[in-house]
Chain A
Amino acid sequence: MELLSNLGDGLAFVMGVIPILTITLGVAMGIVAGATPGLSPSMGVALLVPFTYAMSPTLALILLVAIYIAANYGGSITAVTINAPGTPSSVVTAFDGYPLTKKGKPGLALGVSLVASTVGGIIGTLILIFFSGPLANFALKFHPAEYFALAIFGLTTVASLGGKNWIKAFIAAMFGLLLNTIGIDPISGVSRFTFGLSFLYDGFALIPALIGLFALSEIFKQLEGGDFSTRAVDAGKQEWPTAKAYWKLKTTIMRSSFMGTIIGIFPGAGATIAAFISYDVAKRVSKTPEEFGHGSMEGVAAAEGANSSSVGGALIPLLTLGIPGSASTAVLIGALMIHDLTPGPQLFISNPDIIYGLLASLLLANVILLVLGFFGSRLWIKVTTIPKTVLFPLIFAVSIIGSFAVRNSFFDVAACLAFGVFGWLLRRYNYPVAPIILGMVLGNIAETNFIRANMMGGWTVFFTRPLSLGMLVVAAASFAVPFIQARKQKQ
């Protein structure tokens, strides 16, 4: 097998001292970048690109990819400890991770998220190594109609996210979708709802909305409760998941990893949709769905397994076709070009050493992530032991600088604060805020592909393409099932 021998060469290369140090450095930086609200994996990668000019292309790529992987995991740390998802995809991790922290068991959430991330990352990489060719060809055939169907499928998760408050959940999702239409219309180029204000041309950035709706609204809520003299957790006796607990999660992690990789392949879909859908599926098949949203370890595993494995998926179109599947991989293309390498199928022939070195380093980076994350978790958990009187002002400070850093703009800071107040008011009246984020993430994919499909094939195209029709039917079914179940229970 040529593939295996190439991979062997790659592994032999990354087992050197310098590659291992590079990966370790990348993983450490990635965790910090991911855990800092306002720094996304793509920014972490982008900021490091200039530093890699002087490195050899393989080492440079290894470093950047290590950052990318680790940043995807890093986002879950702040999601679990302070309800401030560091990355959009870790919103889903916060659903159950933060309730676990509130129950005084952040260790359970941090442990599960690390292990699910690592396993997901490795599964994603293995799929990338062995099946990238056929999967890439499948991704190419994905018509805008199918992207639209995928986005609609993602939206149906709102039905089960909302539970009893489904009307409010849908209102929140629709509001997120509507917010997403502010700015210059990506299809026609017309500026919409900008009221002539130049800072609205790009609409609302996701990260300030994320920080405001989650982190700030949470603090406002706790401030309103008036109880902030206590510590959340006792540092002395922390509970970590047992080996048995991990083993019980094996199916959830495996399933979410496969789903994450597959959804990650489609350029533009990415980690966030993967996490939402995987969480939704996990909840539906779970024996204890009532625990979801109140601190379910399964929920954390489903979210993290999916968003970490999507990295492997996103790399498939990048390496095999030269097409970026996510914002971070778009930056990787820039980095490849700086090193005079043209991403695409030719790269496998012209520079197999680089490709297989990269693939091997992905595997190694996940292992190093596990090690660093293991020790790191013991450190992160201390955040939850800081007295709230100290923690709250600091979270405000992090939120302000984090939302400013996204685009270096004060508008984003003000937006973050407004989202914070708005999120607090919504949560007071039992509106879930996560659907707003889902709407903002999916809005663009849904709208642009809806219009593209229409331009290409008219209204009927959604129903004449078998794949699109199939996905829409599944979406409709998954939307209806919770209501049918609820009705049956009533009778």
Chain B
Amino acid sequence: MTLKGLGLLLILLGLLIFTPKANAAFPDKPIKVVVYTGPGGLIDISARKFAGIASKYVDVNFVVENKPGAGGIVALKKVIQAPADGYNLYACTKSNIAKFVQVGGEGYLDALHWTAMLMADPECVITNRKLAIHEWPDIVENALAIPGDQTWVGPAAGGLDHVTALKIWDKYGIDAKWIPFKSGGKALAALLGEQGVAYVGNPRDALGNPDLFIAAVSAPERLEAFPEVPTFTELGMSGLENEFMWRGFALKQGTPHEVVEWYDDLFKKVTADEDWISFWSKGGLDVTYIAEPEFSKLVQEDAEVFEYYLKKSDILPGDAVGILAKMATGSQFIILSVILLLVWLSGSYGVYRSNYSDILGRFMIIGFFLVVSILFLVQSMNFPTSSAVGPAAVPRLWITMLIPLNILLMIKTFRKKDGVAESGPRVDIVLSFIGFLIVYLFVMQVFGYFLSTFAFIIVGLYYLGYRNWRNTIIIASSWILFSYVVFYKTLYVPLPLGMLFENLF
């Protein structure tokens, strides 16, 4: 590459980093639609479809950003940690509310301004047509005949579908088992495989497979798309006519009034849009539009219902009982961690000072595994133990294998039956690089990905003894350009621009 090419690269680079900002009324920069799942799910599709249709009405760029993790908490934190300026729109579902309740985030509900609920799908019970028991009255009769033994399958415990099942059981006085699967699809496979008799979810889940039978739907009246499916009301049970999943959008609480009005206006237009309506009705989904304050009220009610049923099914943590369990909570656990860490360090130091310095590393690693095992074991004392194989069972199983294996290894090590370590002469280079990487990550917070990476590559090359400056600059610039074009622009990976630039421009 010539010097001219190099110059061009640098200019491009400069343009990328220093994007000018104009001063105007809301919105004057792209709006981020924050989605709490990875790309491809229904909420992601909703967000993208909304972004596409909304940009017909307003001259603004909507960027869908996927922030998956912790059932929506990660995305929520992103929204509520940003300023309340309306540039972060949180795409949420009723399942988020269950998660907020579960992690004890009362504050989470109030941190958001529930702007618009755009979709509501009724919940239903799906059964397997191949089984003799598949009509709703038969399911109930069977459940009452074998208390505690009827098996229902569905997605994650504590989610909307589980709570809906709990509510149905409550109404009918049923005592059944809920076997949670990783996803609704896998639960349906179990239903088809005759491992359970009922599944709770969306009526659309039953499409495509003639063996799946919708036994009852929780809606005020029969659904247009499924006219043959009876409602719970028709089946003689009241109080189950309005269990539904919703999807909608929320802003951070405290967003200026005029910004909220701007959104209200936009949601009105989008929900009335032909394209929007036809897109969702094709999939058998009901579009609706509920704004503040009705939406907030609905969310509060949902939260109360979730809390009631999650407490009832032992998912919400109870109070610690016993010394070890108490130790597992709060400051006592931190004290224990520090003590174990000190024991580990002093033990390692003692070995280092003795004649066994060659086994220092081995001892440290064995000690690390033992310390982690003990800390985890203590923590596991605090888990609810409602059933025989509760959440503590399997971690304890791994721990009880980890501890003896490490003790066995320790004995072998002291008997010098362990192999030779594969060490090299230049630990200093490794330590320097670890240092560089840590500094790089901190610098990135301030100066952003592009500048800090540029610097990191140059420092790295120089430190390893590469002295061709022209090539060094070319390599660093090409990497920046590549990561900008491929990751930032094409794949929408929101590489951090750094506090400095985000506040400056």
Chain A positions near chain B (C-beta within 8 angstroms) = 39, 42-43, 45-47, 49-50, 139-144, 164-165, 167-168, 170-171, 174-175, 177-178, 181, 184-193, 198-199, 201-202, 219-221, 223-226, 228-229, 267-268, 317, 321-324, 330-331, 333-335, 337-338, 340, 342-347, 387-390, 392-394, 396-397, 400-401, 404-405, 407-410, 413-414, 417, 421, 424-431, 444, 446-448, 450-452, 454-456
**Which residue of B is nearest A339, CB measured?**
B282
Which stretch in B82-90, B166-174, B179-187 binds the other chain? B179-187
- By the criterion CB–CB under 8 Å, are B362 and A429 in contact? yes
Q: Are B365 and A431 in contact (CB under 8 A)?
A: yes
Central interface residue in B73, B77, B405, by most chain A CB within 10 Å: B405
Q: 12 extra interchain contacts, Cβ-Cβ under 8 A, other than A345-B210, A393-B464?
A: A50-B39, A165-B419, A178-B395, A193-B376, A198-B77, A201-B71, A220-B433, A224-B430, A404-B493, A408-B493, A428-B423, A431-B365
Check A394–B479 contact: CB distance below 8 A: yes
Give the distance to chain A from B161, nearest Cβ to Cβ, in Å.
Answer: 12
Q: How far is the CA of A22 from the CA of B375 in the complex (A)?
A: 53
Give the residue name and chain of the A residue nearest to B67 (CB): A408
Q: Are A192 and B383 in contact (CB under 8 A)?
A: yes
Q: Are B180 and A46 in contact (CB under 8 A)?
A: no
How far is the CB of B271 from the nearest CB of chain A, in Å?
19
B321 CB–A CB distance under 8 Å:
no
Pick the contact of B183: A165, A226, A324, A424 (CB < 8 A): A324
- Establish whether residues A397 and B479, one from each chain, have CB atoms under 8 Å apart when the complex forms: yes
Q: Is the CB of A167 within 8 A of B399?
A: no
Q: Which of B228-236, B342-350, B384-392 contacts A (4 or more CB under 8 A)?
A: B384-392
A175 and B208 within 8 A (CB): no
Instruction: Decide: A321 and B189 in contact? CB cutoff 8 A.
Output: yes
**Pairs A-B, 7 closest by C-beta atoms:** A344-B208, A393-B460, A201-B70, A189-B158, A342-B208, A226-B426, A46-B39
The listed residue with most B CB atoms (<10 A of its CB), out of A174, A186, A396, is A174
Q: A223 to B398, alpha carbons, bound, how many Å?
A: 34
CA distance A408 to B372 in the complex (A): 28
Number of residue pairs spanning A and B whose beta carbons lie under 8 angstroms apart: 299
- A174-B405, A190-B317, A330-B185 known; A407+B74 contact, CB < 8 A: yes
> CB-CB contacts of B402-438 with A at 8 A, as 1s and 0s?
1001101100100000110111111101100110011
* Given contact pairs A46-B38, A199-B69, A189 touches B195 in the complex (Cβ within 8 A): no
Q: Which residues of B are found within 8 Å of A184, using beta-carbon distances?
A: 70-71
| A167, B403: Cα distance in complex, Å | 12
**Stretch in B41-49, B213-221, B259-267 with 4+ CB within 8 Å of A:** B41-49
Once the chains bind, are A413 and B441 in contact (CB under 8 Å)? yes
Q: Is the CB of A189 within 8 A of B210?
A: no
Q: Are the C-beta atoms of B207 and A323 separated by less than 8 Å?
A: no
When distances are taken between beta carbons in the complex, the residues of chain B under 8 Å from A142 are: 193
**B380 neighbours in A (Cβ, 8 Å):** 192-193
Closest partner residue, chain A, to B406 (CB atom): A171
With both beta carbons as reference points, the residue of chain B lying nearest to A387 in the complex is identified as B466
**Sampled A-B contacts (22; CB under 8 Å):** A171-B402, A171-B405, A174-B398, A177-B398, A186-B182, A189-B315, A199-B74, A202-B74, A228-B464, A324-B185, A340-B283, A344-B207, A405-B491, A408-B66, A408-B493, A421-B434, A426-B365, A428-B423, A451-B394, A452-B180, A454-B388, A455-B177
Chain B, residue nearest A164 (CB): B419
Q: Let me know if B405 and A267 touch, CB within 8 A.
A: no
B103 within 8 A of A: yes
Pick the contact of B74: A221, A268, A409, A429 (CB < 8 A). A409
Q: Do A187 and B391 have beta carbons less than 8 Å apart?
A: yes
A178–B402 Cα distance when bound, in Å, is 9
Q: Contacts A174-B401, A178-B402, A267-B186 known; A190 to B315 CB distance under 8 Å?
A: yes
Contact yes or no, A452 B475, CB < 8 A? no
> Contact flags (1/0) for B467-492 with A, using CB distance below 8 Å?
00001000100010001000100011
List A contacts of B14 (CB < 8 A): none
Is there an interface contact between A49 and B40, defined as CB atoms closer than 8 Å?
A: yes
CB neighbours (8 Å) of A223 from chain B are 426, 429-430, 433
B395: chain A residues at CB < 8 Å are 178, 181, 192-193
